[in-house]
Structure 1
Amino acid sequence: MIARWLKPDDRGFGTHTQLGLPPCAFSVVTGHLCPTCGMTTAFAWSVRGRFHSSWRANPAGSLLAPACVALIPWLVACAALGRPLGFRTLEQPLIGLVVATVALSLLFWTLRLFLGRVL
């Protein structure tokens, strides 16, 4: 897992730059964190079992990280069977996961903008 090799940025965002990616353009231009700022940092904290730090970096990322781990056996089973397990198409659960991730990211981002933090 790539997140294990990354050192979580103490600021709670910016860990992705260790992968050669540029800083968040939204954040650079506006001075505010975007909905996905801190997502990589949240994953990096999650794989270390530091769930409070993960939540502080990006709440949606802290929920998505264990969901991705939980998906591994299901994806392996789907690959072995040659079909999605429990669904007619692979798109159904994946679209649901994407929609849930986007919705949670936007919700937590809105809370972070107005409250300065989430819980």
Structure 2
Amino acid sequence: MAWYHSGHGRPINTVVRLLLVAWGVFLLGGFSLAFRLTPNPAGFGTHQQLGLPPCSFQTMFGVPCPSCGMTTSFSHFVRGQWILSARSNVGGLFLAMVSAVMLPWSFWSGWRGELVGVRDPDSWLAWGVGGLTAVTVINWLIEVAI
């Protein structure tokens, strides 16, 4: 017996199917970009390789912002360096893990014409955003306190 049966997800229309495929392509591009970057040994600042300035929050207040280290975290993640990814930013590791799951899921859902395994997308979105926010803020508070 298969672990997944058609009809166990919310049906979607053609526009949503195309958006899911576009989302998958976007995620693939993000992972490809993260792989092309060299993780900064400091644990943050990898984004500067893209021509972006240093973190304004850290420059102004002398403490890292909640998202400091996320680009570095992704860059470590795509190399399988998950401990270094977590050291850079736990929220970045969590987001990378969720994105890694979403990548094949978005293509699969677009192909099947339903949100595979998801009956209530609003709840999934709320839990995902809430979880990511909580992990990122808690990680940041710990970083600032240390």
Classify the TM-score, shorter chain: 0.7 to 0.9
Give the stretch that moved more between structures: 93-102 or 35-44: 93-102
Structure-1 separation of matches of 2:52 and 2:128: 24
User: Does residue 81 of the first structure (1) align with residue 115 of the second (2)?
Assistant: no
Matched, 1:48 2:79: yes
**For residue 51 of structure 2, what is the aligned residue in structure 1?**
20
SS class of match (1:13): coil
| 1:70 aligns to 2:101 (yes or no) | yes
Counterpart of 1:94 in structure 2 is 125
**More deviation in 82-91 or 103-112?**
82-91
Unaligned 5+ runs, structure 1: none
Give the number of equivalent residue pairs.
115
Provide the residue aligned with 2:40 in structure 1: 9
Provide the residue aligned with 1:110 in structure 2: 141
**Runs of at least 5 residues in structure 2 that lack an aligned partner in the other structure:** 1-31
For structure 1, which segment, 70-79 or 34-43, has the greater mean C-alpha deviation from structure 2 after superposition? 70-79
- The offset of 1:95, in angstroms, is 3.6
SS in 2 for 1:37: coil
**TM-score (norm. length: structure 1):** 0.85
Q: Which of structures 1 and 2 has the bigger CA Rg?
A: 2
Q: Which amino acid letter does the alignment assign opposite residue 131 of structure 2? A: A
- Partner residue in 2 for 1:30: 61
Q: Name the Cα RMSD after superposition.
A: 1.6
Amino acid at match of 2:139: F
Which structure has the higher relative contact order (CA within 8 Å, separation 6+)? 2
Q: Residue 90 of structure 1: CA displacement?
A: 4.4
**Secondary structure at the residue paired with 2:115?**
coil
For 1:42 and 1:100, the matched residues in 2 are separated by 17
Q: Per-residue deviation at 1:38?
A: 0.2
Q: Distance in 1 between matches of 2:58 and 2:127?
A: 28
Would the alpha carbon gap of residues 81 and 91 (structure 1) be closer, same or farther in structure 2, given more than 3 Å must change?
farther
Percent identity of the aligned residues? 37
